[in-house]
Chain A
Amino acid sequence: MTVSTINADTVTGPDLAQLWKTRRDRERFQWSSLALMTPAFGLLAVLFLVPMGYAVYLGLTNLTLVGPDSVKWGFTGMANLIRLHQDTTFWTSLWVTAGFIGGSIVGVVVAGYWLASLLMRARPWMRVVVGGIVVVSWMMPAVTAGMTWYASTTQGGALGTLTGLHGTNFLDNWPLIVVTMANVWSMTGFSMLVMGAALRNVPSEAIEAAIVENASAWQRFRMIVLPLLRPTMIAVVLLTALLSLANFGLIYIMTQGGPGNATNILPLYSYQQAFSFNNLAYGALIGNVMVVIATVFGIFYVRVASPKS
């Protein structure tokens, strides 16, 4: 029975039910879909959701890495939360992280946009050379980037040699600034590429018209470029924030969080508490705070990145 053979006057209930089953515009649920979904979602359940839940519990216990509390440990209720509230190093770490993320966002967006707009106007060979250098710096794994920046900014390193300030220890004197610069250096490449692609979509006639009307560079930017670039910029901001928040390798290699707590961002402080200070549970709690912050960023990311259909 097909739709075309139905006679509206004589069709019965069971007939319609039969028709319903053979509809081709509505997917039937197939059991093989379960087989397709299970491996990936099973892994996500076991190694993402379960640890997330476990982390929430762990953060409220007194588990330590070594010592009596590593063998016999249990739920301690609000104790860790109270401790978190009173932990001055935690609040310092929060500030340092905010500074690191903020500085990185500003650097990455500004440098990325600037480079992208400069490259558009440059000669092809310059585009390849400079663009290539910036992209290569982005491709470097964080560990290598940290290593090269450490070598360059420590006393007697490349920066000292080139500026003639051989005795200055840039890294230990201005640690947060230097690691933020290293982070910006390692992320500008992608920002430049993304902005470059978006800039290509800015209609040249609009720019020309603006030049003819003697609009200044700033006005051109504000009126024409910025609105068109806004979604791209927001995406860059969010991604930079997320990646900087999770950044462990770069700073760990360069300063291990020091000197003092000057570059002790949350992932490093969590590691320090859990593994250097033996407080595994408290370290997990700090990790939970990071997840909350990342979730907030993540929600914004979803709003921006999900297809507007």
Chain B
Amino acid sequence: MKPMKRTKSPRVFFASTLLAMTVAAGVSAGVSSAGASAKVNITVAYAVDTTFDTTALANKWWGALQKEFEAKYPNVTLTLDPIHGGEPDFLTKLALQFKQSNPPDVIQFPSTEIALYQSSGYLAAMDSYLSGSGMSWFSQFPPVIQNEGKIGSHTYAVSAGENNNGLYYDKAVLQKAGIKLPWQPKTWADIITAAKAIKKAEPKVIPLWTDAGTSAGPAGAEYGILNLLAGSDNPSIQTASGKYVVSSKGLLETLNFYHQVFSQGLGAPTSQLFSANNAPNIPSADFAKGTLGIAVAANFIGGNWTKQVSFPYWPQASTAMGIAGIPKINGGGYASVLSGWDFGISSKTKAMTAAQNLVNMMQEPTNMIEAANWAGWVPPVKSYWNNPLYANFDAPFAKEFGQLLPWSTELPSSANFTVWVQGLEQVSGTLAQTPSTTGSAAMAAMKSYVTNQLGSSSVTSLP
């Protein structure tokens, strides 16, 4: 072994000096960048995979918006923050971002989260800006949609687009089953009758698609079971005092309907219903293949058949398919729940004007309509419905869903809603997987789960 010097290794000295210099450089860089630039920077966060029909379309819309915005406001940089994953993951990630001291300035998020975010103090009140001139789009929202973002006396979010729901049916399948077209069931019993007829005439076709199971999160329920509940004899989900309903005539009727569907083999297989691959989109694929008769589904399904979305591309969709409103249980009208995506501005933003300008730009006719086309929304501004850009986008049935919009009702917006929906979807999944389960057994299981999770002071039973 070669002899070693007693002196400290020069390399150690060099390394530690280098380290110190790097740290100093890093610190000073951080300090200097804070005050140096006069340019304003705002960040907008959104769900890139589950808002628009495809991720590619989302990137297209946001990319074009970024260019337009930065061109109009040259002293502002717009940073895009696309959050990946399904809706539950997006919600988690967004919440994590807001825990930090520098959350995104503008967000696009589901309407069911508004109350939650507002109660944490995350959202800025938008009233003063919305009542200003140049914001004519807001005054054209139907009142129910204006109130979507209203908590107390202030508005904290504005709708970007709405989803409502209806019944899709394959004309050829129904014809073969001897059902008269155009089909518009008046009661839930009519739906069952039609499904039974389909099953008899065409055993290889799934008669009726209704969502079940927890894999799609709250969104699955919003495009499925909640629409039936909305048409039942007691559609109440949350009482005025904020308690969640865990037992009611309406819930029982809904769960009994599910029992009827699945115990008679009229529903879709669990492999599709429980699919992690975003089950709500599956009906569009099945219809195109001719393997589905009727579906309770959202308005964006139509857009899936356009060339732009191609899930799959089915040009004959507008003639091969028909739309009906989801009837109330014993007739007397239609039912649907309204769910949508909204824009909000962070209360901690340091660039309020720029943020407001961004929201304003996103709500301009071209931008809003393109978003509606590519995300399968109904634009909340009524006058846009007749805009050729919206009417001519070859998404079938946009007009029909617009007509069904007045029948739609809002959903509660609170943290406990997620838990309540989880309880509901757990039992809908059980009904699908174990068809011998009765509606009352399912409701009892849901009551027990939700009460257990939320505590008995937060739930209530209605007649």
Contact = CB atoms under 8 A, between A and B. Distances in A.
Given A67-B415, A276-B88, A277-B418, A88 B449 contact: yes
A258 B269 contact: no
A230 to B, nearest CB: 42
B276 interface: yes
26 contacts: A65-B92, A66-B122, A67-B119, A68-B119, A68-B120, A68-B121, A71-B120, A87-B452, A88-B448, A88-B449, A88-B452, A154-B275, A167-B269, A169-B274, A172-B433, A258-B215, A258-B274, A258-B429, A259-B215, A260-B426, A261-B426, A275-B95, A277-B418, A277-B419, A278-B415, A278-B418
A101 B430 CA distance: 25
A258 B119 CA distance: 31
Contact of A169 (B95, B271, B415, B455): B271
A289 B453 CA distance: 18
Interface residues of A, number: 29
Scoring A66, A86, A150, A154 by chain B CB atoms within 10 A of each residue's CB, the highest score goes to: A66
Nearest to A175: B274
Contacts of B275: 154
Given A169-B271, A260-B430, A66 B117 contact: yes
B276 A256 contact: yes
A64 interface: yes
A128 B429 CA distance: 45
A71 B418 CA distance: 20
B213 interface: yes
Contacts of B455: 83
Contacts of B6: none
Contacts of A156: 271
B429 A259 contact: yes
Which among A71, A83, A88, A260 has the greatest number of chain B C-beta atoms within 10 A?
A260
Contact of A71 (B121, B271, B448, B452): B121
Contacts of B95: 65-66, 275, 278
Contacts of B276: 150, 256
A247 interface: no
Nearest to A157: B271
Interface string A152-177: 00111000000000010100110000
Interface string B406-433: 0000000001001100100010011001
A89 interface: yes
Interface of B: 88, 91-92, 95-96, 98-99, 113, 116-117, 119-122, 213-215, 269-271, 274-276, 415, 418-419, 422, 426, 429-430, 433, 448-449, 452-453, 455
Interface in A44-70: 64-68, 70
Nearest to B430: A260
Interface string A31-55: 0000000000000000000000000
Contacts of B452: 86-89
A70 B429 contact: no
B31 to A, nearest CB: 25
A33 B412 CA distance: 61
B214 A260 contact: yes
Nearest to B415: A278
Contacts of A65: 92, 95-96, 99
- The list of the 3 closest CB pairs from A to B, nearest first, reads A155-B271, A169-B271, A275-B92
Contacts of A87: 452-453
Interface in A126-182: 150, 154-156, 167, 169, 172-173
